[in-house]
Each structure stands twice: as structure tokens, then as C-alpha cells.
Structure 1
Amino acid sequence: MKKILLMIPLIMFGIDYYSYKDAVKKAKELHKPVMIEITSSRCHYCKWMESTTLQDKEVVSFIQKNFIPVRIDVSKEEIPKGIEYSMTPTFIFMDPKGRIIKKIPGAWKKEDFFKILKEVKE
């Protein structure tokens, strides 16, 4: 029972990710940008950001409201054609037509990442 209760906050504040293919369709339908998180299961900084910044309820809420989020784990999945990165984590923001708006490498604290999200949204 304790394990179930401990998992509830993760479910409540986690980001609902789409597959890349579904995200591209959804972005066109809703006229929202796509936020692609390039991550790896072997990446310490990715794990840190996923357990801190990307669990913050304000960040999660902003992402869910303003973006179509995608997470691609390069240790398990292939990168879609046209998507390039040099390190993990990397965040790539695309407009609904698939054009890259901004590419942000590295792990970010909540305050800094939230500023980036707001800049991209504008």
C-alpha cells in the first residue's frame, strides 16, 4: 500500500508524453509547438532533470497546456529523420509545421527551464 501511495505524486505531476508521430499530428490539430526531450537511460543529467525540474507541478502544467511533449530515449529508440542532437538531455522545440524553433542542450533547474519555456511560447 505504501508503494502505491508513494507513486501517486509521480502520476499526478508527470508529463503525458506522445510518440513523435502522434505529436506531429496533434501539433497540427491544436496549433501548438512540439517539445522533444532527447534523453538516455544512461544519462545522469537526464535522470536528475526528470526527477526534479520535469516533476515540478508548475513546469508540468505549463508544458501540458502549451506544448505537445515527446520523450525520445536514444538508448532504446531511433531518432526521427531530421532531428539532430549532440548530447543528452537536449530539448528541441518545433512549430506545428515541423520547423525547429529552438534547440536547448543540457539539464536545467526549474527557474531557468521555465524561462526557456516561456520564451519559446512567445
Structure 2
Amino acid sequence: MRIKLMLLLGVTFVMFASYTNVAEISQSQVNFYKGSYDDFLREAKKLKKPIMLDFWASWCGPCKKLENETFTNPNLVTYLNANYMIYKVDIDSFDGMSIADRFAVDVYPTLVLLDPKTKYVGRYRGFFPADYLRNELEKNKNQKGKRFVAPKSSTTASL
């Protein structure tokens, strides 16, 4: 009987310890959506959460700095995971280029914000410290979006 009780306590302890580690890990990194862009949009609409699109490239120094410094800040990570659906857009892929064109993104990194209905709210270009970014996101969290209209190019091609 004593062995069964010790075994039960041991299993309970291991399960509790594992649960705690999973919770800590999930709050130490931003939960970027894994999957297609279309699936991401459907999921965000279903959850009725604001959207952040993170446009980045592997060769982009400020993108790496944003990833390593800003997106690892525990306060920002907790805030983002609780309040936003986030999708990383690799602009070196064909899908990423198409999404970047859709939102006229030409500076990296760029964070594009959409409301839960996928309407355009705004954008942030370049690197931002975690505290500044969190304050800005809190200001825009409940803002209603509008249909995005790409700016017209000021230059015309000549042949």
C-alpha cells in the first residue's frame, strides 16, 4: 500500500512540474501562428482577436534585433500572447512577397495591425523597444480598421 501511495505522489509531482514548465515556456516566447496565411485569417476572425503581421527577412539586421530583443521581453510576450494573433511573413517566400505587396510593405521589419475583421488599422516600421511597442499596441488594440488602399506610386515607368 505504501509503495502505491509513493508512486501516486511521484506521478502527481511529475505531472505538476511538467505543467508548470509548459506554462513558463509558452510565456517566454511569442506564439507566432504556424500554418498558412489563409488559415491564420480564418482563425483570427473566429477568435475575434486583433492581428499583427510581422514582415521580416533572414538577411535583415533590424528584423533579427526585433526578434531577439523585443519579442523576447517577458512583459511584451505575455501581452501579445493574450491580446493578438501574430503571423510572421517571410518576404523572401512567394506567399510573403504577395502579402507584402498587398499591404505595400517596403521597409523591414514592418508590423501591420489589423482589427479582428481583418481591416487595416496601422503599421510600425523598423525596430522598436519592447516597452514602447507595448504602449503603442495598447493604444491601437480596440481601434476599428478600414479597408486598406495601397498608396499610388509617385513615379511612372518610362520606356
Q: Shorter-chain TM-score category?
A: 0.7 to 0.9
Please say if 1:54 is aligned against 2:71: yes
Asked if 1:83 corresponds to 2:100, the answer is no
State how far apart, in whole Å, the 1-side matches of 2:111 and 2:62 are.
Answer: 13
Q: Identify the residue that residue 129 of structure 2 maps to in structure 1.
A: 109
CA distance in 1, matches of 2:39, 2:123: 20
Higher normalized contact order (CA 8 Å, seq sep 6+, divided by chain length): 1
Name segments (4+ residues, structure 1) moved above 6 Å.
none
- With the length of structure 2 as denominator, give the TM-score of the two structures: 0.65
User: What root-mean-square deviation, in Å, do the aligned CA atoms of Structure 1 and Structure 2 show?
Assistant: 2.1
Counterpart amino acid of 2:127?
A: A
Cα distance in 2, alignment partners of residues 101 and 50 from structure 1: 22
TM-score (norm 1): 0.83
Pairwise CA distance, 1:77 = 4.5
Please name the residue that 1:5 is paired with: none
Q: Name the structure 1 match of 2:29.
A: 14
CA contact (8 A) 1:42 1:75 kept: no
In structure 1, the partner of 2:139 is 119
Gaps of 5+ in 2: 1-23, 143-159
Question: Identical aligned pairs, as a percentage?
Answer: 23
Q: Are residue 31 (structure 1) and residue 51 (structure 2) matched?
A: no
Structure of higher CA gyration radius = 2
In structure 2, the partner of 1:99 is 119
Secondary structure of 1:42's aligned partner: coil
The Cα shift of 1:98 comes to 1.6
> For residues 64 and 49 of structure 1, what CA distance do their matches in structure 2 show?
16
Greater fraction strand? 1
* 1:65-84 matches, cutoff 5 A: 65-79=82-96, 80=99, 82-84=102-104
In the TM superposition, what is the alpha-carbon distance from 1:95 to its structure 2 partner? 1.2
Q: Extract unaligned runs of 5+ from structure 1.
A: 1-8
Aligned residues: 115
Are the equivalent residues in 1 in contact too, given 2:27–2:78 (CA < 8 A)? no
What displacement does 1:12 show? 5.3
Are 1:10 and 1:55, in contact at CA under 8 Å, matched by a contact in 2? no
Counterpart of 2:105 in structure 1: which amino acid? Y
CA contact (8 A) 1:23 1:34 kept: no
Q: Secondary structure at the match of 2:102?
A: coil
In the alignment, the residues of structure 2 paired with residue 33 and residue 77 of structure 1 have an alpha-carbon distance, to the nearest angstrom, of 25
Deviation at 1:94, TM superposition (A): 0.7
The CA distance in 1 between the partners of 2:91 and 2:38, in whole Å, is 16
Cα displacement (A) at 1:54: 0.4
